[in-house]
Amino acid sequence: MGSISVTRRFNLFAIFLWPLNHIRWKIILPYAFLTAMLAGVGAYLATDIVTGSLEERFANQLAKSGRITADAVVEKEREHLESVRAISFTEGVDGAIVEGDEATLRNIVRPIAANNGIERLEVLDAQGQRLFAEELVDAGALDYAEILDDDEPATWPIVGRVLSGEADESGDKFAQIVQAEEGFVFYTAGPVYEGEDIVGVVLVGTMLDTFVADVKAGAVADITVYGLDGGTIASTFALTSGALASEAQLDPSEIALADTLAGATLRENRDIFGRSYDLVYGRLRVRDQVVGLYSVALPTDFIFAAGAATRLQVMILYGIGMAAVIAVGFFITHRLTSPILRLVATARKVADGDLTERSGIESRDEIGVLASTFDEMTERLQRQHLSTIRALTSAIDARDPFTSGHSMRVGQLAIMLGREFDLPESVLAQLEIGGYLHDIGKIGIRDSILLKPGRLTEEERSNIEDHPRIGLSILDPVDLQKDVLDFVQSHHERLDGSGYPRGLKEDEISMVVRIASVADMYDALTSDRPYRDPTPPREVVRYLRSQAPRYLDLDVVLALDRILDDWEERRQTDPALSGFKLPEFHAEKISS
């Protein structure tokens, strides 16, 4: 089990290191890793900057909404004051209050209320009793209706301060949030004078629910108003959700309440109706008095949603950029390494014995120079290789003047036949070498048998038929390719199995051997022999066709028929195909 585990770990390690064995991956992996790292850092920084900017905008919006809310209550109180002054200083109001003339009072103040858009208007006498109390029921039509609740304004602190003639640095008018029967109302109260005497009180009010709804439209945030005890008294959350403010748990924490009352601006995160909000608390100050507290709230999912969207966009952007950079890098790497890989493949084929392989790389850079030099070296090796084999062939053929040039002609004829079948250059090279070496085994045959002019005995023929085996034994230590060895060993094999030395037949005989058989037989029959004259080429072809397809491959014989004229013309004009002749040495020249 231990050895299996070690082997598995080694295999995994080898798989992991596999790319490092290839130059293409050695170039592109660090490049891709660096690109991915830069893209990741860039995406993080961009997202962080954008998210930070969103957070800053969010905080600024909260602060702005808080300022709008604080300013809104001051503006509302200013509107109230204008209405209070307009009513208290209108001629006839003081007299109607003193006389308790409700009809006259109504006729005087209702037009002012409608003109100023007052939501709640009450006029009290010197005892704090209502003489006029109406509220706006239809803002579009400016319809007012009498307030019929059981409230007792005389008990409200704001009314008592006015009736008592109290005044502060801001004057004799006061503002307060009052809990009425219909809800919380923001009231501004001012006295009505007759001479030097206070004869009544004017109350101009706005329902807090109306106030927070109006402020929300400008602040673009949810608004909540609290009493000085921290209890929620109005909120846009209650208006928008349809639920009670108490159900939303809008009341500030004790710390938030204490800090806000002390004048600090506090930011707090709360879950309201299952949604996360950030709240900023502040004080509602009117005429230098704190009349209540407020909070403005914005949902934090604005940041998260925008941040997530931005993060996704940045990731997509950087992803596309990274993919483009890697694609360009891969393309450049491919352009750089493809010639190297092609050169490596060529070198491997040459190392395996295929000296016909060339890289075919044409460029002026260092790789092109290397490839060109390698191709020249391979071509020179091929020439030297063939020259050596031809020299050996000539030495073999020189033993018998009748077979001089036979091996050279068989090799060249085999090449021409191979081209008729569109065989690759590597196979053509093996046909050529095989043709040159196919009779090398005759070195092991005695001259008395090899050069005998008459008919051979059975024993002599048996010795002759051993030359393929002898040739294979001679070439066995030499690192030659399989097709060359097959040519040497099997060029006397026949399709019906009657050939020698192994008696191969049909599919056991390769295309190389089929070409070898036809080329060898044709040249032997068209060459001069001590026991017969050469046979004319056309007659030989007819004979070979008669031997196909029983003994010879018919397609190869037909290919020979097609190239016959070209071959014979070359045979007559190419001196190399006539073979090597040993020079004549004279004894006197040697002795001298």
The pLDDT confidence band at residue 342, using thresholds 50, 70 and 90, is confident
Please give the Cα distance from 218 to 216 (Å, whole number): 5
**What is the rounded average pLDDT of the residues 423-433?**
91
Q: What is the pLDDT of residue 120?
A: 94
From the list 147, 280, 274, the residue with the least C-alpha distance to 224 is 280
Tell me the C-alpha distance between 225 and 518, whole Å.
Answer: 111
pLDDT for 7 equals 54
Q: Which residues contact 371 (CB under 8 A, 6 or more apart)?
A: 339, 342, 343, 359, 361, 363
- Per-residue pLDDT at 450: 74
SS3 556: helix
pLDDT of residue 215: 92
Which of 346, 350, 341, 336 has the alpha carbon at shortest distance from 22?
Answer: 341
Instruction: Give just the sign of the alpha carbon dihedral 273, 279, 285, 290.
Output: positive
| Cβ 184 vs Cβ 178: under 8 Å | yes
In the prediction, which pLDDT does 99 show? 92
Q: Where in the chain is the domain with CATH 3.30.450.20?
A: 56-302
pLDDT on residue 526: 93
What pLDDT is stored for residue 367 in this prediction?
79
Indicate the helix (H) or strand (E) that contains 132.
strand 130-138
Q: Which residue has the higher pLDDT, 30 or 507?
A: 507
pLDDT of residue 247: 58
From residue 395, alpha-carbon distances to 109, 404, 434, 443 in Å are 141, 9, 16, 10
The reported pLDDT for the residue numbered 184 is 92
Which residue has 């085999």 as its token pair? 414
**pTM exceeding the 0.85 threshold for the entire prediction:** no
Distance CA 68, CA 47 (A): 31
Q: Tell me which of 137-151, 202-216, 236-250, 519-533 is least confident.
A: 236-250
Condensed to tens digits (0 to 9), the pLDDT of residues 206-240 reads 999 999 999 998 888 999 999 988 888 898 886 55
Comparing 250 with 432, which gets the higher pLDDT?
432
- Chain segment 21-31, per-residue pLDDT in tens: 666 677 777 77
Listed residue (477, 401, 398, 483) closest to 438, CA to CA = 483
Cα→Cα distances 208→181, 232, 387, 441, 521, Å:
13, 11, 112, 120, 120
Distance CA(30)–CA(325), nearest Å, equals 13
Residue 457 has pLDDT above 60, yes or no: yes
Tokens at 156, concatenated: 């409200």
pLDDT at 587: 42
d(CA 119, CA 115) in angstroms, rounded, equals 11
More confident residue, 536 or 41: 536
Query: Residues 255-310: pLDDT tens digits?
Result: 888 888 888 888 888 888 878 888 999 999 888 888 899 999 988 876 666 666 66
Instruction: State the Cα–Cα distance between residues 438 and 96, nearest whole angstrom.
Output: 144
Query: What is the pLDDT, as a whole number, of residue 106?
Result: 93
Give pLDDT, residue 392.
73
Count Cβ neighbours within 10 Å for each residue of 379-414 and write b for 16 or more, e otherwise.
eeebeeebeebbeebbebbeebeebbbbbbbbbbbb
Is the pLDDT at 334 greater than 90? The verdict is: no
Tell me which fold the domain 56-302 belongs to. Beta-Lactamase (3.30.450)
Question: Is the confidence at residue 555, as pLDDT, over 50?
Answer: yes
**pLDDT (0 to 100) of residue 97:** 92
The mean predicted confidence, pLDDT, of the chain is 84
Phi, psi of 256 (to 5 degrees): -65, -40
pLDDT over 90 for what percent of the chain? 41
Distance CA 72, CA 186 (A): 12
Of residues 193, 219, 200, 228, the one with CA closest to residue 75: 219
pLDDT of residue 373: 86
| Residue 181 phi, psi (nearest 5) | -65, -35
Provide the CATH number for the domain formed by 372-582 in this structure: 1.10.3210.10
> Which pLDDT band holds residue 589 (cuts at 50, 70, 90)?
very low
State residue 242's pLDDT score: 52
Mean pLDDT of 353-360: 78
Q: Which of 517, 440, 424, 435 is nearest to 478 (CA)?
A: 440
| End-to-end alpha carbon distance in the chain | 84
Specify the domain boundaries for CATH 1.10.3210.10 within the chain. Answer: 372-582
Give residue 592's pLDDT band: very low, low, confident or very high (50, 70, 90): very low
**The pLDDT of residue 590:** 40
Q: Which of 12-16, 24-28, 449-453 has the lowest mean pLDDT?
A: 12-16
Question: What would the pLDDT profile of 69-125 be if each residue is shown by its tens digit?
Answer: 999 999 999 999 999 999 999 999 999 999 999 999 999 999 999 999 999 999 999
What DSSP line would sit under 294-349, residue for residue? EEEEEETHHHHHHHHHHHHHHHHHHHHHHHHHHHHHHHHHHHHHHHHHHHHHHHHH
Q: Evaluate if residue 197 carries a pLDDT over 50.
A: yes
